[in-house]
Amino acid sequence: MSEKTKITTKDIRRAKGARRLVWLTAYDTVTARLAVAGGADALLVGDSLGNTILGLENSVPVTLEMMLHHTAAVARAKPAALLIADVPFAIAHYSFDRVLDACAQLMRAGAEAVKIEGGTDMAPVIARLVAAGVPVCGHVGLQPQQVFRLGGYKKFGASADEAEQVRADALAVAEAGAFAIVGEMLAPATAAAVRDALPVPLIGIGSGADCDGQILVIHDLLGLTENPPPFAKPRARLADAAVAAIAGWAAEVRG
């Protein structure tokens, strides 16, 4: 798809079975421009900004105000890619009026869709949001906002029962009207089975190759993260290059 052609949720849906989708996180105007120039179909302003760029331990402390700030920064790049924003911790479990208001604020800041973690439990909320005009991307498997309940990060779908629960969660979210679903840290066989069962794209992260597309944190891809997850193989070493450039300039100044 041409860089000048604006990608919509309809385009993402239509890609199912036709082409693999490339999604990346973006947290500001610079990362948004780089991701789109490199060919990203969608940009996620993820609440991963907490641990990726704000120095937080995880995504739980990320607030709606933080998400609005970074969503607006990404939107200023006027990306051709679809712009999706995470609904941060706990908000999706508030009263529907509060959830809808939070999504409306994210869309006014520039988001063209929102992403909500959760499966069968969140399907009724997702259905109401879609009916209200809010495009929703689902998120099943590992849900980082549940890190304290889980006691850490783990793979999902290794056992038959867990695989069936992931499948049920994904189908419920799709039936509620989600245009795509992120599947995080799924056992590869489970990811493949869920992909085949879904009418919408399954976007994998740490879930093997048998998904309709992949998403990565852009800092992990570019080698800007100190300890990237094992599934995120850096395609560049920009941190090393940046340190070398700064050290060279510092030597000039001191010399």
Q: Is 184 a catalytic residue?
A: yes
Q: DSSP string covering 89-158, please?
A: TTGGGS-HHHHHHHHHHHHHTT-SEEEEEBSTTTHHHHHHHHHTT--EEEEEES-GGGHHHHTS---B--
Q: How far apart are CA 26 and CA 219, in angstroms?
A: 9
Consecutive H or E run containing 12:
helix 9-14
**Which of 164, 184, 226, 252 is labelled catalytic?**
184
Q: How far apart are CA 36 and CA 26, in angstroms?
A: 10
Q: Are 109 and 76 in contact (CB under 8 A)?
A: no
Helix axis angle for 160-175 and 123-131, nearest 10°, is 20
Q: Which residues are catalytic?
A: 184
